[in-house]
Structures are given as C-alpha cells and as structure tokens.
A and B are shown apart, each in its own frame.
Chain A
Amino acid sequence: MTGEPRLRMEGIVKRFAGARALDGVDFELRAGEIHALVGENGAGKSTLVKIMTGAYHRDAGAMWLDAEPVHFDTPADAQAAGIVAVHQEIQLLRYRTVAENIHLGREPRRWGVIDWTRMRRDTELLLSGLGLEIDPDATLGVLSTAQQQMVAIARGLSIGATVLILDEPTSSLAEREVAILYDLMRRLRAGGTALVYISHRFDELYAVCDRVTVLRDGVRVATASLSELDRPDLVCLMLGKSRDALRQGTTAFLTPPDADGRAPAAPLLRAERLQRGQKLRSVSLEVRTGEIVGLAGLLGSGRTETARALSGVDPADTGAVYLRERRLDPRTPDQAIEAGIAFLSEDRKAEGIIPELSVRENLTLAALPTSTRFGIVSRARQVAIVDRFMARLGIKATGPDQKIRELSGGNQQKVLLARLLCTSPALLILDEPTRGIDIGAKAEIQTLIDELAGSGLGVLMISSELEELVEGSSRVVVLRDGRDVASLAHADLSEDAIIHAMAEGSALAPLPPSAA
C-alpha cells in the first residue's frame, strides 16, 4: 500500500464571503490506496473535493498530480487529467441507457453519426472487465441505486480515471449491494487506482480503507493509517475532544431536576423499534414528563429520521409509538400536533419559516385552528398570543408585523419555538435547536428549554454539541447507523462516554477505581 503519491495538495485555502471553508489544508493521496476523508458537517470535506475536481478554484495553495503542478479551471479539465468524482446523488441521465450514459460526451462516431454498435460493444467490454453484470441497453433509471452507482464508477473509469472520489456511496445501498461495491473498490485498488472515500459509517471505513484524513473546521487535524487508530480516537479527532480532558460547564443548562434519587416521572413517549427505509433501522426510546432526553450520534446515524418519524413528518414503516401509554403512530404532522407532539426542524430556512409572512403570522400559524371562530381569525386573540410570546422569549423585532426573514437566526428560532408552544404540546422534539445561532440567543434558548421541562413538558433534543447534551439532558440515547446502541443515565453521562458509545456502539463500563 505504499504507492507513489498520485495527488498532492498543499496549503489549500478557500474562502466564502469572508469565512474560511479551508484554512491551509494539506492532502496526499497515493496510488493503490483507499483513503478515507472524514469530518463533521462544515468541516470542509466537500469543499476540498470540489477543488480536487475543478468545481471550485482554490484561493491559495498548490496541487500536484503525479508530481506535475496542476490547476483545473473546470471539472472537464480535472476529468481530462483523470480525476473523477462519483456523488451521493446520481448525476447521470435517468432516461438514457447505460451505454449512452457511459459514453456521454464522448460518443464513438462513424462518418459523423453515432456508432451505436461500437458503443454497445465498448460498454460490454468495460462492464465485464469490472465484473459487473449490467445490460448496456438498460435504461439507467430502471436499475437499482447500487447498479446506477456502478455505472457512474464505470463511466469514470472509462474516461481514464486514476483518481476516483466516492462521496457517501453507500448511503442508499443495502448491505448486499455494499459488498458488491467494496469488491469493485478493492479490485480497482489492486490495479493501482487511488480512491478517496467519504463516509460517516465507521464500520465501512475500517472495513475497506487504508488511511484516513480528518478535517475539522477547515483544517486538517490528522492523517493516519486506520490500523493504528482506534474508533474512539477517531471520533475524538473529528469532534475535537481530548480523551482525558474534563470540561467545565459551557452551556446555559442547569442540572436536570430529576437527576438520580427521585422517583421516575410518568412515562410520556415510548417508541419501539422504529424503522423507515435504510436510514432508520431500529430505534427504541422513552421520554418521561419533565425529562430532557438527548439524542446523540454522528451524522447519518438516524437522529433526524427518528425525530421525523415520531412527529409524523416521515412516518415509520414499522414500529410503534405510544403517547402516555396509548398507541399513536402519527402519520401526518397535524396528527402529531393534535396529539401534543411538537417538532422543530433542524433547517429553519427550508422547513421552518414562511419567509414572506410576518413574525405574527409565522408565530400563530400552527395555532390557527384554535384561534379562529368559524374560520375567521380572531385578531384580538392573535395579538394577545404574539405579545405574550414575544415578551416571554425575548424576540427582538421592530414589531410583530416585521417580515420574519429580516430577523436574525436566533430570533427566527425563537419565533418557531413560540409557534410550537402555541399548540400546547406535551412533548417537544427539537432537532439542533441552537445550531447556527449567536451565543447570547443560544443561552436564552437553552434556558427556555430548561424552564419548559421544569414546567412538565417532555423534551427530546438532538444536538451535535456534546456539552449541550451532557449538561442539559437527564439521559442521552446514542444512535449509530440507524439503531439505538446506548442509553446513558445522568450518573454515567460524560462526553467521553457519548463518544465511546458513538464509536463502539455500547456504553462504557464504569471506570475501575484506580483509573488515572
């Protein structure tokens, strides 16, 4: 596996509107290796790949391909040089055949007209050479996702790819299909191709990759051989935690009220073996009144899918949901809202705010059925509700009629929270409630969540920030690859424990008394 460096990047800088997406990143890819590229959201992985493939121009730094300095103006340049990326979303033509897709842009011609016979023959040779049994004349859209991905890879190879970048290739694949993909990848590696593999799934990284580069906040944190790095270490590198460091409280959460020693409160929500598609495999969890249950896990572990299944947005295929011990199984958002489950999406721009409407209209949207009489909105009641919530949550706006898109992220989030609270929920499901919000508003929202739990609401909170989970939750459920793998009670709760569960998939054993 010690091949020549095929691709080398040094000091790569990329800025977007003043922020540095990549801040001096080095990257080295050898021939005949499968190199994993990992990092959380916003770490810079896709930016780095886009610079590799010529989709972005670097602001600073240098790049060498086979020891020759290169600069790509367009993806076509990179492809001509042999660098091909296969994306998560299939970027091919669904309505054309496999042969047409593979030869797109390079169709063999005879006397000015496309030579279909040669195209089919070349495709057959290519596919069988890769060990793929796919009909060249099949329409691409009819094939399974795995097969479509194989075709994308085959296309890349037929262009002459010596560097193949695979971005989350297995996110929609079943296990059997993943095995087929790995087989192909190993064969390519044996033939000298250099592969970059981006994924969040640790099992896969350890199964098929040789080395790993970790990015965090636009910086390369480490490059190591996967045989020398154990999983918890890898997670620590990705999240920027040290295995031994203790953390002081950095969030506004107070100690949860029912931490140990008190009688458990009444059960509010119980989910059993929720399953939906490939991303949510089997999740069971419980929330009691007055509890804040944290939901932890790496990207792709199924947290958002769980939340959306519980709130009727993307209902589960199998599994059961009980609210106060009565079977519920919400199939639409309004069913869930009516039952008392309120959901805050992680993407407030796409799924939260109605941008053209005012603060008042956004705030009262979910409560319209209860604040109208014969379908006519009671203006007086609306004004009262809005005034009350704007004061209580400290929503800063020029007035209730200001357009919501003009508010800061933190204030928008408060409006959305107020919208949920207007429906008098019993259970709040919050997906990354403090993401992308300034520190002041963050603290205010954390305090608010605390108060709500204190007043009897149950809260299920997804957060990627371990401090939030450790300090705010009575309990943390850790998900991995679509399954719940650990439930950490408050006494056992620490960032280290969560990291360990995310990596290994089980709770830490209690430390022996003589631990250093």
Chain B
Amino acid sequence: MMRGRTSLDPTRVALGALILLVLVNAWSTPNFATTSNLWNVLLQVSTVALVAIGMTLVVSTGGIDLSVGSVMAVGGAIGAILIPHGVVVAVAAALAGAVAIGLLNGLLVARMGVQPIVVTLATLIGGRGLAQVLSHDGQLVTIQHPGFELLGRGHLGPFPAPVVIMVLVTAVAMFTLRATAFGRYALASGGNAVAARLAGVPVALTVLTVYAGSAGLAGLAGLIEASRLGASDAAKIGMNMELDAIAATVVGGTALTGGRATIVGTVIGALIMQVIATSLNMLLVSYAWSLALKAAIILVAVYFQRPRLV
C-alpha cells in the first residue's frame, strides 16, 4: 500500500510562486516596481478575478461555466444600449440579463441533469450571438456617459474603482464560502452530491444559485470592461475569458472535481497570470511566450493537486 505524499497546500504554493514572480520582476524588469505599474496590474486583473471568483463557486459544486465570456459581452451590450435611460437602469438591466442566462444554465444542470460542460458550451455560443444581435449586428456601440465612466475609470481615493469592486467581491465571496450555510451546501454538493441530498441539503437550489452568481459576476465584469473601453464590443469583450478564469481557479488550488475551493487562491492565481502577462509585455517578449508560460504554470499547479492516496 503506497503511503500518501506529505501534502503541499496548493494555495500556499501559489502564493509562494506569486511572491517569487513579483520579486524576480522587480529585480529584472525595468519599471516593474513602480506604483503606477502595480496599480496597472491590479486594474487589469480585476475583471478576470471577478469572473474567476464566480467560476470558483461553480467549480466547488463540481460543475463548470464556459459561458462567462459571452455573458460579459451580453452585459456590456445591454448596458450600452440602455445607457440613454440612465446608469442605474442600464446597470440593473445588464445584471438582470446576465443572471437570467445564469439561471438558464443552472436550471438545465440542476433540474434536467444535463452536463455542465454541455450546457455552458451552448450558452457560450448562443450568448455571443445574442450580444452581437443586441449590438446591431456586432457593431461597436460607443458609450458617452460620465456616470457610467466611473465604473471602469473612476477612482476611490488612490484605488481604481474596478480594484475596489474586486476587493469587495472577494471579501463577500470568502465570507459566503466559509461562514454561510450556502457555502457549506456548495462544498457538500461538490464533494458528494448523493450524501448531501440524503442529509437534506438543497442541492438543486444551491447549484442553480452558483450558476446565477457566476453569470452575475460575469455581467458585472462585462460592464466594467465596457466602461473602460468607452464602448461595448460584442464580438471581442470576454473572448477566451473562461479559460483565464478556469486557469486562475486551478492554479489557486481549487479542485475541478468539486468539494474543495479557495477564493483567496483563485485571486492569487489570477494575479500570477496577470503578472506574467504584464512583465512579458514590458520585456517586449512576444505574446506567444506568455501563453506558453501560462500553460506551464497550469500544468505545474495541476501536478501539485494530484489526488493523494489515503
């Protein structure tokens, strides 16, 4: 009988890797260790982090949400169209639309038992189409509204608005996962759905809620992107975002099989990806190399998460 390896907590490994990356870059990449650059990294990572946090909650139930990128586009598109009616209406409607897609995902997974990867693949494709239809066949829809600009380009003191939102969402998500019954239900549903059901856990409702939440966060991220761009680009916003979100989740130590999740880890994972992208950009290394490095990091992270023999 093989003995289990002493377990290296994947989140600690990720944190160590992040610190190492930052230090190496501070030393070898010109202009990396400046305040403006560090704010820039945080600003760039905020939308990925939001989507990744939603993804983490979905993954904790043993599912996956491939549609987040398209939901971002839908959120941005709805926001752009309804902006003439005021910021509040536009944002509320965009979030509602995003959540509606999430509910659709959740219903198909929880009530009809369709595999999450299949359901969210369908909404990935359909959502992208919907976003383009809403944007008059995929045109760029510019947004001129000082109130809306605050979302993506405003500041709260020295903190960029998206960073503030990211910190708030992280805190709420951490609290939800650790201290609420709902968080327990999500982990139980992902750890052993049959046992959870027998114990009276409302598995279907929990699953429905995580998909709605993931889509809601994606919608918010889409609005932030649209605000920063000053326009909704239904064809491009959120493209491949699902892959970055899944990568962040995995690197941070959340198990893709469900039952074990860490919000902090996901944010660290997102930061790792972003630091790599930023520093390679600053070093004028071609984009292809940053993709290769990301892939390597994902493989290493998954290696550390190999199931331990009990």
Residues of A within 8 A of B (CB): 17, 313, 333-334, 337-338, 343, 345, 350-357, 361, 365-366, 368-369, 372, 375-377, 379, 405-406, 419, 423
Cross-chain contact A354 with B192 (CB below 8 angstroms)? yes
- Please tell me which one of the listed residues A338, A355, A365, A406 contacts residue B199 in the complex, with CB atoms under 8 A apart: A365
Cross-chain contact A353 with B200 (CB below 8 angstroms)? no
A342 CB to nearest chain B CB (Å): 9
Q: List 24 A-B contacts (CB under 8 A).
A: A17-B1, A313-B197, A333-B199, A333-B200, A334-B200, A334-B201, A351-B192, A351-B195, A354-B187, A354-B192, A354-B196, A354-B259, A356-B187, A356-B255, A361-B184, A361-B187, A365-B196, A365-B201, A368-B185, A369-B200, A372-B180, A372-B181, A375-B182, A377-B179
Q: A313-B198, A343-B198, A365-B199 are in contact. Are A357 and B181 (CB under 8 A)?
A: no
Asked if B294 is an interface residue, CB under 8 A from chain A, the answer is no
Cross-chain contact B200 with A355 (CB below 8 angstroms)? no
**Residues of B contacting A356 with CB < 8 Å?**
187, 191, 255, 259-260
**Residues of B contacting A405 with CB < 8 Å?**
310
A371 CB to nearest chain B CB (Å): 8
Q: A333-B197, A333-B198 are in contact. Are A354 and B191 (CB under 8 A)?
A: yes
Given contacts A338-B200, A355-B191, 11 further A-B pairs with CB under 8 A are A333-B199, A337-B199, A337-B200, A343-B198, A354-B192, A355-B192, A365-B196, A366-B200, A369-B181, A377-B181, A406-B310
Interface size on B, residues (CB 8 A): 24
Query: How would residues 88 to 107 of chain B score, 1 for a CB under 8 Å from any chain A CB and 0 otherwise?
Result: 00000000000000000000
**Residues of A contacting B184 with CB < 8 Å?**
361, 365, 368, 377
Asked if B202 is an interface residue, CB under 8 A from chain A, the answer is yes
Cross-chain contact B1 with A357 (CB below 8 angstroms)? no
B108 CB to nearest chain A CB (Å): 20
Cross-chain contact B179 with A376 (CB below 8 angstroms)? yes
Query: How would residues 201 to 217 of chain B score, 1 for a CB under 8 Å from any chain A CB and 0 otherwise?
Result: 11000000000000000
Cross-chain contact A354 with B195 (CB below 8 angstroms)? yes
Minimum CB distance partner of A335 in chain B: B200
Asked if B22 is an interface residue, CB under 8 A from chain A, the answer is no
Minimum CB distance partner of B259 in chain A: A356
Asked if B33 is an interface residue, CB under 8 A from chain A, the answer is no
Cross-chain contact B179 with A379 (CB below 8 angstroms)? yes
Minimum CB distance partner of B189 in chain A: A354
Cross-chain contact B310 with A357 (CB below 8 angstroms)? no
Cross-chain contact B181 with A375 (CB below 8 angstroms)? yes
A333 to B197, CA, bound (A): 7
Residues of B within 8 A of A (CB): 1, 179-182, 184-185, 187-188, 191-192, 194-202, 255, 259-260, 310
Cross-chain contact A368 with B181 (CB below 8 angstroms)? yes
A366 to B191, CA, bound (A): 15
A483 to B193, CA, bound (A): 31
Cross-chain contact A419 with B199 (CB below 8 angstroms)? yes
Q: A351-B194, A356-B191, A357-B187 are in contact. Are A366 and B199 (CB under 8 A)?
A: yes
A354 CB to nearest chain B CB (Å): 4
**Residues of A contacting B187 with CB < 8 Å?**
354, 356-357, 361
Q: A372-B180, A377-B180 are in contact. Are A423 and B200 (CB under 8 A)?
A: yes
**Residues of A contacting B255 with CB < 8 Å?**
356
Minimum CB distance partner of B185 in chain A: A368
A496 to B276, CA, bound (A): 75
Minimum CB distance partner of B192 in chain A: A354
Minimum CB distance partner of A337 in chain B: B200
Most buried by A among B196, B198, B310: B198
**Residues of A contacting B200 with CB < 8 Å?**
333-334, 337-338, 366, 369, 423
A352 to B197, CA, bound (A): 10
Query: Nearest 10 pairs between A and B by C-beta?
Result: A334-B200, A354-B191, A366-B199, A337-B200, A356-B259, A368-B181, A372-B181, A354-B192, A356-B260, A365-B199
**Residues of A contacting B194 with CB < 8 Å?**
350-351
**Residues of A contacting B195 with CB < 8 Å?**
345, 350-354
**Residues of A contacting B260 with CB < 8 Å?**
356
Q: A356-B187, A357-B259 are in contact. Are A351 and B181 (CB under 8 A)?
A: no
Q: A357-B188, A376-B179, A379-B179 are in contact. Are A351 and B198 (CB under 8 A)?
A: yes
A368 to B206, CA, bound (A): 14
**Residues of A contacting B202 with CB < 8 Å?**
334
- Please tell me which one of the listed residues B179, B185, B201, B259 contacts residue A355 in the complex, with CB atoms under 8 A apart: B259
A68 CB to nearest chain B CB (Å): 38
Minimum CB distance partner of A350 in chain B: B194
**Residues of B contacting A372 with CB < 8 Å?**
180-181
**Residues of A contacting B198 with CB < 8 Å?**
313, 333, 343, 345, 351-352
B223 CB to nearest chain A CB (Å): 27
A361 to B188, CA, bound (A): 9
**Residues of A contacting B1 with CB < 8 Å?**
17
